[in-house]
Chain A
């Protein structure tokens, strides 16, 4: 009797301890609401710094839906677990963050918990924002709290069970959220460390460019090995980069600042928004990002360097058309070559396709998406443009064209299942183009984009 009572007590004790531990892990207190602070109460210099930081963090891209108010949320973000809609981060008191004190904002950035204590889905990349400094969080808060308030209630997420249970996010955090994952390396230059702080923190480059595991967390062992964004492939930006010509700090800086590079082509898909933002932040920060990322790519091997140089030489003096036969060759010659083999330099002439990362990439989606939608112009700015072929080519025609481009312009093995890729691209890109915001933050000097 005594024994079984003791066992009973022990089990009860363990259960209670377990429940307490689980409660402590899941439960987060609400932080008291405040009266929305007056915009004038923020230091204008702080707000201005916050503006550049928000551009670095690409906040507007996810938190703005096409045709709606800036930062009012509502953008559908496709994930393997369902669709998550971004939240309203304008200072609207009812539907935005108007009643959030700075402490609540900082807590959200660090640990993904909203003011009321609810766990936020890691689509909001707090696993990177945990690295953002107090003073940068303060500037971001000042910037967001001085934007025009927009009344827009949150759209309901479309997640399947069990992913619609927010308490599970606490378990995700236990597994994957580390406090301050990034530390400066005293052996490196201040510039490289500045770049690391931005890349690993606010700029959250790995959120797209690092592959994710089955639970949607970045695989740290495969950092920058290529990931996913809005049905586009985010290329590997480490030693595995599929770029035909290896990247260096100078090329990265030019590309990130201007949105294109003569040896690499034009940023498109979700990256178009990123480079559009980076054209408006301090140049020194873009340079720091480029220096850090060049270190992540690493110096190319002698073999890769040689191949890159050979490809560049071929691209600069293209061999005359070999008179390739076949449907793909015919489409290329008739629809693509006019721009892609013209003497006009990029970004207004098409890049020589030997240099195209999309054609050399292991993932065919970016090439399919680009053929379908082209490159849209940026409003009010001289910018590269490519017509889309979604209406003039059917899936089979695009597939046969892609197979030809792969065989002629890359050294990589043939892709398979291209007709499916194209069909999925049509569906995915229709949603992306309808909902993602127009590119904004055009450079102060609009001539900047097209000057080498």
Chain B
């Protein structure tokens, strides 16, 4: 069952096409990674879902209701966390959450408790400090609190970790992952590492189209190639390169690339057979590898493969 569907959605700015006939269905209860390079149209897609941008053609539905531009009623289902949320710096966090709660229509008698719950959930202190004194990380936490205040069915996070330091990022991802059971989450980002850490479904946006989508495990099976990382001593570099070229000719391996001091070898034969061959050839040439390890398929590989 899909909570959010995009049906042949297109968006153009003048002659520039940002989205071209995009179809997408986001299942309930998933953390959905929405990936694309900067400027790929991720934020535009999020804004279309929120009715903040006018759709050029197609239709977006949330929980079966059509999203309309301007004042969409579907926003009662959503919580939105922008990349750099802007709050009223003259307010305290409690005052800001109260403002959001009143707009959402949370009854007055429940609002104070609800705000208290949100402070606990996001790990923010309920004090008299004005928001203008908050750090980036604290603002992001407040952003999550306001987004969760109306208990949304769909939480939309637009590049939420791009402005955070490594600690803030880790804490933020843990927080988002903990919400999985309560709601469906769209996590738009260009940081692939973040997606691998928390998302179970992904889609990759490239050149105005969705070029891959599905569960991370399936995509890895579909796109990512088996790889071995191997390192030899510097003096053996030329000899080892010749060896790898010969293995390609013999069709024992597919290709190799040199990344800094290591060689990354693509193969299709069974791992055991490939390592046997490599070791045998190295022994013949009197080369002793200093490192050899199997590289797990990564989202980066998939991304590079589908956007090539």
Genuine A/B complex: no
- Residues of A whose CB lies within 8 Å of any CB of B are none
Binding site for A on B (CB under 8 A): none
